[in-house]
Structure 1
Amino acid sequence: MVLETTYTTQEGTACVTAALGFGALGQLPWTELAHVVTVVLAVVTDHMGEATCDGRTVRGEATLEAGHTGLLALVAVGAAHLHVPRPEEIVSRVDHTITAWRQWTRSLAYDGPWRNTVVRSALTLKALTSRATGAIAGAATTSLPEKIGESRNFDYRFAWIRDGSYALDAMSRLGLSEELHAGVTWLLDAVSHEAPALRPQYALSGAPVPDTMEQVPGVPGYRHSLPVNVGNAAAGQTQLGSYGDLFDAVWHYCQRRGHLDQATGTLLSGMTDRVCDMLLRGHPTPASGNSGSDVITPARRSAAGRRWTGPSAWPTPVS
């Protein structure tokens, strides 16, 4: 992602471009976060420059004159050796990253009203998508409060069946076939390990999420909203709506030239049988937090039937 912010002080104005850099052919073999500071007016003392480390904080300070540019970059890897790029390489990759994102936004198949807002929303969904797996995270950080200063602060750093289905619906409407394919592929792989059972959410790796939630002491939280939580107890809930969300994502995939293999068809058939068995038993489940109640009512059963039946509802699986 690239974020450009303009800061205006009594001393002058500076533009800060923050970018997670791309390589020539896509993802870099290391993580590279660059802050390029350009002074637009007067002299600005900016908190960047020669970096020093204090615990988990990286900071620095430099004085720049109008028209001059400074760079603060953070380059990191896992437990491995580290390549330290030259500053000009990093700046060049920032330009390349901006070009790549602009090219991606031009590929969006949307010319309707509020295009800038639609593009911004699409960029957000893309930024929440794991490049490695295609999973779509519900949030990039934990414990963003539902209301500032109150306690309903949950950890949504997981891939939710419901949220992923909504996101893939939007991506399919925007003509993002690569993202649609990657997202549906991840969904089907994640659910296959415990099918026909279905969890509300999974880790970005596709692994099951423990149904535990722990508070993190000593962390102030977003705008002092406490507590800060790690984990999400909803992992242990039964949310029958997730079955419909999964099928909805696969439906959009098939409608846009996606074809299912035989194993996937068998997988989905088994999940359909499980839900139908629950419907026939009038299976009730507890209300599931923000997801609403999953109690099966005649109205919901009728709505589900009208939505999923039809002479050409599903393409023939590819053998």
Structure 2
Amino acid sequence: MTATSWTRKHIISLEDFSIEEYNTVLTTASSFKDVLQSRTKKVPALQGQVVANMFFEPSTRTRSSFELAAKRLSADILNFAPSTSSLTKGETILDTAKTYLAMGANIMVIRHSQSGVPLNIALEMDRLQSGVSIFNGGDGLHQHPSQGLLDLFTICSSLESKNPQISLLKDKKIAIVGDILHSRVARSNINSLLASGAQVHLASSPTLLPSLFADIVEDKYKDRLFLHWHLKPALENADFVMTLRLQKERMTDYLLPSLREYHQLFGITLDRLQWCKPEVKVLHPGPVNRGVEISSELMDDPNYSLISDQVTNGVAVRMALLYLIGNSK
């Protein structure tokens, strides 16, 4: 595994990722997945480097996945907890980042409820000529690049386990269903899937999928992004279905009549998969509200569900990303 072709110092968004970068991540993640399936499960790729996990909002999968990925690469870990930090005493986020810089952090993984925080810290680190790489672990309603990349890896691996490449998704129909308005995961997946040549169909109620949402993509992708306010046309002949959690904590307005009605209109069930292709696979980035966006029966069905694979692949993909930016030229 080498990082000679990788020059990206920070990973903030997938909006400007190239096809070469996508394929580099997929190939590197595939190699690290083999490592995780071996007896040792550990390599010295980042030995001597310090990874600081700075999560300013709650997280289970992303934080644990980044921590385990860093440990598998033999890095030293600094974990940040806002409730026990100097933020409670008035310290700014930038000063917190500079504190970790002074402690010798080489990579900072940053999650924040406000869009733009990881980018601002990256700009400050560059201004200081610190050499520190910033990884966006999810910011507000903006982006969640590692989730988008692990979803891409999971989909491509389901099509070709030994050689996942982005070209495998050309002309595939992928439906994304749920709370798209508040989803940074949706935005990152839209970027990666459209770049792959797939056709992306978004489906939700008009309150969670406004018509202006189509404006988030470049004109060259307009003919491959489709919006639906009914479920069936989005699912018809779909190769993959990704359902998203209703983010009630981000909803400031009354956007849904009830969870039961939402499930009746947009919940993904085994019966509704009959509209899709016979070999359809289902994804969910988690956490899952069982019986709301997806039925428990479908979530646990190994014939359709890739949800456990997403969690497993998350470690390999984040190993790949930390490795690449930790050894970037």
Shorter-normalised TM range = under 0.3
More helix, by proportion:
2
If you compute each CA radius of gyration, which structure gives the higher value, 1 or 2? 1
**TM-score, normalization: structure 2?**
0.26
Higher RCO (CA 8 Å, separation ≥ 6 residues): 2
